[in-house]
Structure 1
């Protein structure tokens, strides 16, 4: 069963996603702004390069400051940084029936401005959000104590423009 096809009828939706984002964690992300660069196939790499070209200069009021190593597959904003990685692997939680049923307190699915996301609270206090129903997975990590809603709103238009809807796997 495809989780996100089922999710449209079983998801708790934006109110629960917004609530979980608001209460997620309380520490900061790694200030070093260094990230692992994904290694997707050529088709996904092209989509990610297109995304990089249309990303906003600021996200949630933070100026773009890309992490090291520099890559068209990664981007960052502010310090502690909001980090975007394009071309990541499908998160295991996307296939978890507990998430689809709203029974996992650390993961929830919902949509923001036409882009579906899986939100997962991480052990280090950050919040990791991964696009769903797109031909490439885009992952956004938000520092603990930061409301991810602003970042998702600011990134939605770019994701919609560069990463077509569909199933990535």
Structure 2
């Protein structure tokens, strides 16, 4: 059962953001994998790309290679966004819904629900929930989730709310 369909998420407690020590695997030299969304998802991802902010947490827009309407970046690969990704497996794991998985935290920031997953290297990845497309945000290692992470998710919330309607994304 997809717990995001039935579980209302409140605001992400600041304590959870403090617990998120590092962020994702964005690498200055790494190419960003471009998602391959279905037609319906592609449409909302293109709209999101159009309304994304020019700055996030003081970092200017600097889209990664290869250029795509399904990816965006800020800074020198400090913040990477991918729209139309597949649903993270932990999003349907009942242990996450019960709070038993310490590597995944579910919460909301300014009206957007997120699954925050700890990666194998200790970094974190954020994926939207309860939206018609999955949007994934990765932060470079060394960025503080308490400071930069909370600012990035807050700064992205208006764009996500505007472009990606509430609902259930495709099961792919």
TM over 0.5: yes
Counterpart of 1:24?
A: 22
Counterpart of 2:167?
A: 166
SS class of match (2:49) = helix
> Does residue 112 of the first structure (1) align with residue 109 of the second (2)?
yes
2-side partners of 1:129 and 1:136: how far apart? 13
> Does residue 97 of the first structure (1) align with residue 98 of the second (2)?
no
Q: CA offsets, 1:17-75, max 9 Å, x none?
A: 32332x236x9731125201000111111100000000000111111100000001000
Check 1:12–1:103 CA distance in 2 against 1; reply closer, same or farther (3 A cut): farther
Counterpart of 2:62?
A: 65
Answer whether contact 1:49 1:73 (CA < 8 A) is retained: yes
- The Cα of 1:7 is off from its aligned counterpart by 3.2
Answer whether contact 1:17 1:109 (CA < 8 A) is retained: no
SS class of match (1:56) = coil
Answer whether contact 1:73 1:86 (CA < 8 A) is retained: yes
Q: How many residues align?
A: 165
Check 1:56–1:33 CA distance in 2 against 1; reply closer, same or farther (3 A cut): farther
Counterpart of 2:130?
A: 133
Unaligned runs of 5+ in 1: none
Q: 4+ residue runs of structure 1 moved beyond 6 angstroms?
A: none
> Does residue 3 of the first structure (1) align with residue 14 of the second (2)?
no
Check 1:55–1:33 CA distance in 2 against 1; reply closer, same or farther (3 A cut): farther
* CA RMSD between the two structures: 1.8
2-side partners of 1:36 and 1:83: how far apart? 11
1-side partners of 2:10 and 2:156: how far apart? 22
- The Cα of 1:136 is off from its aligned counterpart by 0.4
2-side partners of 1:136 and 1:28: how far apart? 22
Counterpart of 2:33?
A: 36
2-side partners of 1:54 and 1:84: how far apart? 13
Unaligned runs of 5+ in 2: none
